[in-house]
Amino acid sequence: MRDLGMEVEWRLLEGHEAFFTVTKAMHNGLQGAEVPWTNEMRDLFFEVNEDNADALDEDYDFIIIHDPQPAGMLQVLQEKKGEQKGKWIWRCHIDLTARFEPVWEFLGPLISRYNAAIFTMEDFVPRDLDVPQLVLQTPTIDPLSMKNVSLEPEAVTEVIRTYGIDPLRPIALQVSRFDPWKDPTGVMDAYRIAKEEIAGLQLVMIASMAHDDPEGWHYLKVAEDHRAADPDIYLLSNLQDVGSLAVNAFQRAADVILQKSIREGFGLTVSEAMWKRKPVIGGNVGGIRLQVVDGETGYLVDTVEQAGARLVELFLEPDRAAAMGIAARARVRERFLTTRNLADFLDLFESLSA
């Protein structure tokens, strides 16, 4: 947008640990978990949203709010200041198909105040949501970002060797948070099934440990326990300085990419891997189904056993895996690059200005 001459900035929500514990519960509830949802949690949510709304003192034509954490800012401004400057758009990145109703009953009325709401797919849109404009729009990747830019093979090899991975042995990779929705233990179980037939198989699991995801530390411990000291399972994160460049290198080094989610709003790591000509074995859920064409760009799976069997198949049939990778990159070029997302937003801005 800036390259087009638009005046755009990215604002970060300021919060504290208790607030992020509340919003993690919201996130899990919206994806289907039965979570505690108390008046105290609601009050804390609004307290932090009010602080952030007070800091929003500039005049904007459009404000895009991402996900539940800052979704209460518009209500705060309307009720506290009696104003709404600009058009407000809520962007939902979450799979709401099995939402826990007490949490949605809290969030839904907040979203109904917006001028427009964007969802990744129609299945995610609650039937009781009433907004003036509803938009279906998938996220996209930037092919020129550090995570996706081209790398020389020598650079890829150097990066993965830094973390002890053998580039001459087969590699399966999942890049995801450590949380129950990404099924890290199921990924390891699928790897163990495949390793019975694929000698020397290595599994690399990369996560970003975020300050606004207190649950992540618990599931890192769960993953470490389930790893059971297997020397061929590598649990890496930003704690070991694995950043965007390293993720890029690992995605290029891997033979097969996993994204075995049991809930998934979209899963940008799927498009990232497909852009690098890698076949993806993904959970048959949510936005993964928009990206992976089963049998053409990878496979969709419902169980650990299916994931393990597909891993074996792709390692034993490298020509088929390579053909899937070529088809995968073509699909991302057509549908999931940031230029398409930019055009979508410009269309939306124009329609809201009419």
**SS3 assignment for the chain:** CHHHCCCCCCCCCCCCHHHHHHHHHHHHHHCCCCCCCCHHHHHHHHHHHHHHHHCCCCCCCEEEEECCCCCCHHHHHHHHHCCCCCEEEEECCCCCCCCCHHHHHHHHHHHCCCCEEEECCHHHCCCCCCCCEEEECCCCECCCCCCCCCCCHHHHHHHHHHCCCCCCCCEEEEECCCCHHHCHHHHHHHHHHHHCCCCCCEEEEEECCCCCCCHHHHHHHHHHHHHCCCCCEEEEEHHHCCCHHHHHHHHHHCCEEEECCCCCCCCHHHHHHHHCCCCEEEECCCCHHHHCCECCCEEEECCHHHHHHHHHHHHHCHHHHHHHHHHHHHHHHHHCEHHHHHHHHHHHHHHHHC
pLDDT above 70 (res 260): yes
Greater pLDDT, 236 or 209? 236
Greater pLDDT, 238 or 301? 301
Percent of the chain exceeding pLDDT 70 equals 99
309-321 residue pLDDT tens: 999 999 999 999 9
Q: Which long-range contacts (CB under 8 A, 24 or more apart) does 292-299 make?
A: 293/327, 293/331, 296/324, 296/327, 297/324, 297/327, 297/328, 297/331, 298/257, 298/274, 298/324, 298/328
Residues comprising the chain, all counted: 354
CB atoms within 10 A of CB 204: 24
Q: What is the mean pLDDT of residues 129-143?
A: 96
Q: What is the mean pLDDT of residues 7-33?
A: 94
User: What is the amino acid identity at position 208?
Assistant: S
The average confidence (pLDDT) of the chain is: 95
Q: What is the mean pLDDT of residues 273-290?
A: 97
pLDDT above 90 (res 5): yes
Q: What is the pLDDT of residue 209?
A: 77
67-121 residue pLDDT tens: 999 999 999 999 987 878 899 999 999 999 999 999 999 999 999 999 999 999 9
pLDDT above 90 (res 159): yes
Q: For domain 2-140+338-353, which architecture applies?
A: 3-Layer(aba) Sandwich (3.40)
Q: What is the mean pLDDT of residues 17-28?
A: 94
In this structure, the dihedral spanned by the alpha carbons of residues 287, 290, 294 and 299, taken in order and rounded to 10 degrees, is: -30
pTM value is: 0.90
Q: What is the mean pLDDT of residues 248-269?
A: 96
pLDDT band at 214 (very low <50, low <70, confident <90, very high): low
User: What is the amino acid identity at position 348?
Assistant: L
Q: What is the pLDDT of residue 36?
A: 95
Q: Which fold has domain 153-335?
A: Rossmann fold (3.40.50)
pLDDT band at 211 (very low <50, low <70, confident <90, very high): low
Q: Determine the distance from the C-alpha atom of residue 74 to the mean position of all C-alpha atoms in its chain, rounded to a whole number.
A: 25
Q: Where are the domains of the chain?
A: 2-140+338-353, 153-335
Q: Give the side-chain half-sphere CA count within 13 A for 335.
A: 19
Taking the C-alpha atoms of residue 166 and residue 189, their distance in angstroms, rounded to an integer, is 21
Q: What is the pLDDT of residue 179?
A: 87
Q: What is the mean pLDDT of residues 178-203?
A: 96
pLDDT above 90 (res 197): yes
Q: What is the pLDDT of residue 276?
A: 98
